[in-house]
Amino acid sequence: MGDRLGKLRVAAVQAASVHLDRDGSVAKACSLIADAGRQGAQLIAFPEGFIPAHPCWFTVKPATGAAALTLSKRLFANAMTLPGPETDALGEACRSAGVTAVIGVCEKRAGSSGTMFNTQIVIGPDGRLLGKHRKLTPTLAERIVHAPGYGDTLQVFDAPFGRLSCLICGENGSPLAIAALLSRYPLVHVASWPAFVSPATRLAEVIDRSTQGLAHMMGAFVVNATGVLDDRAIEEFGASGAELDFLMSARNQGFASVIGPKGQKLTGPVSGEALVCADIDLDDVIIPKIVVDHAGHYGRPDVFDLRVLEPPAGYER
């Protein structure tokens, strides 16, 4: 038979956080991990900022107004320090289910009183924290609460099924970030997304256009995990008028999907909260790579030289 990469069941989370509740969101994540394990998944992907929430309130509230700043204060209070008791609980859930997880979290810098990062953590099926990726550039009003990440977390992780990469929201359209990751031959890439962006952006279209091209360039499978806007978050945003109308129109929508290595969509749309699962054959990456391997024979290292810089001296990871 020769060398085979094997088959894999993946699960993309399409769900809402327990809004600005770290313990509640961790418990919900553990429940979803257990559910994925029962369904035979070996990889589960979570949305952007699932624990404890993504700061979507900036879409409907002035960033420096009292309401937005109060929500931002609650975000810091419920953010995670890594590692910690939350990663222990999530690790135990992964170990019990035998699942590798990529989870979007709001990470607060240990010892600080306000510095936060938009982060993905990767936990193996043995419960170990394999590492993290911090979003390199916060998008739009995220910059009010999230500091930029550095190149030390732009990495590929060794999962039992092979190499795994991940990026957050708009990073999934960043040519240089994509080039840095595809050069390390990931088989599966996790793209984590929020529930919505703004009335001016159709998130479903952004996800489809970005990640179908991303899968084609990488020659890898892409698992899109998306948030869901629920009644609790809408109530806590305190929006009114046109902003409230927009939130209600976005309520309970989700855009989770699995994309094949030729850029083909392998799953259909699902409404409301769900685990979007797909059975994939990792050997399907081989023909796209034979045709166009940007990390190998199509990469031209004699022409191009991409360097990922380390953080500045004295930076505390």
Please report whether residue 26 resides in a domain. Answer: yes
Q: Over 70: is that where the pLDDT of 36 sits?
A: yes
Q: Give the rounded distance of the alpha carbon of 29 from its chain centre.
A: 13
Distance CA 160, CA 110 (A): 30
Q: Over 80: is that where the pLDDT of 18 sits?
A: yes
Please report whether residue 316 resides in a domain. Answer: no
Residues 245-255, mean pLDDT to the nearest whole number: 93
Residues 67-74, mean pLDDT to the nearest whole number: 95
Q: Are 117 and 135 in contact (CB under 8 A)?
A: yes
Position 309 scores a pLDDT of 86
- Domains: count for the chain: 1
Position 1 scores a pLDDT of 65
Computed over every residue of the chain, the mean pLDDT equals: 94
Work out the pLDDT band at 310, boundaries 50, 70, 90. Answer: confident
Work out the pLDDT band at 316, boundaries 50, 70, 90. Answer: low
Please report whether residue 207 resides in a domain. Answer: yes
Distance CA 172, CA 234 (A): 27
% residues pLDDT > 90 (the chain): 84
Higher per-residue pLDDT: 144 or 312: 144
Residues 64-90, mean pLDDT to the nearest whole number: 96
Work out the pLDDT band at 313, boundaries 50, 70, 90. Answer: confident
Q: Over 80: is that where the pLDDT of 89 sits?
A: yes
Please report whether residue 165 resides in a domain. Answer: yes
Annotated catalytic sites, by residue? 48, 135, 169
Position 224 scores a pLDDT of 98
Domain that holds residue 243: 7-291
Please report whether residue 149 resides in a domain. Answer: yes
Three-state secondary structure of the chain: CCCCCCEEEEEEEEECCCCCCHHHHHHHHHHHHHHHHHCCCCEEECCCCCECCCCHHHHCCCCCCHHHHHHHHHHHHHCECCCCHHHHHHHHHHHHHCCEEEEEEEEECCCCCCCEEEEEEEECCCCCEEEEEECCCCCHHHHHCEECCCHHHCCCEEECCEEEEEEEHHHHHCHHHHHHHHCCCCCEEEEEECCCCECCECHHHHHHHHHHHHHHHHCCEEEEEEECCCHHHHHHHCCCHHHHHHHHHHCCCCCCEEECCCCCECCCCCCCCEEEEEEEEHHHHHHHHHHCCCCCCCCCCCCCCCCCCCCCCCCCC
Please report whether residue 315 resides in a domain. Answer: no
Higher per-residue pLDDT: 186 or 5: 186
Position 111 scores a pLDDT of 86
**Residue labelled with tokens 């109308």:** 245
Q: Over 80: is that where the pLDDT of 92 sits?
A: yes
Distance CA 45, CA 122 (A): 9
Q: Are 226 and 193 in contact (CB under 8 A)?
A: yes
Position 301 scores a pLDDT of 86
Distance CA 177, CA 277 (A): 26
Work out the pLDDT band at 198, boundaries 50, 70, 90. Answer: confident
Please report whether residue 311 resides in a domain. Answer: no
Q: What is the CATH number of the domain that holds 147?
A: 3.60.110.10
Please report whether residue 306 resides in a domain. Answer: no
Residues 122-129, mean pLDDT to the nearest whole number: 98
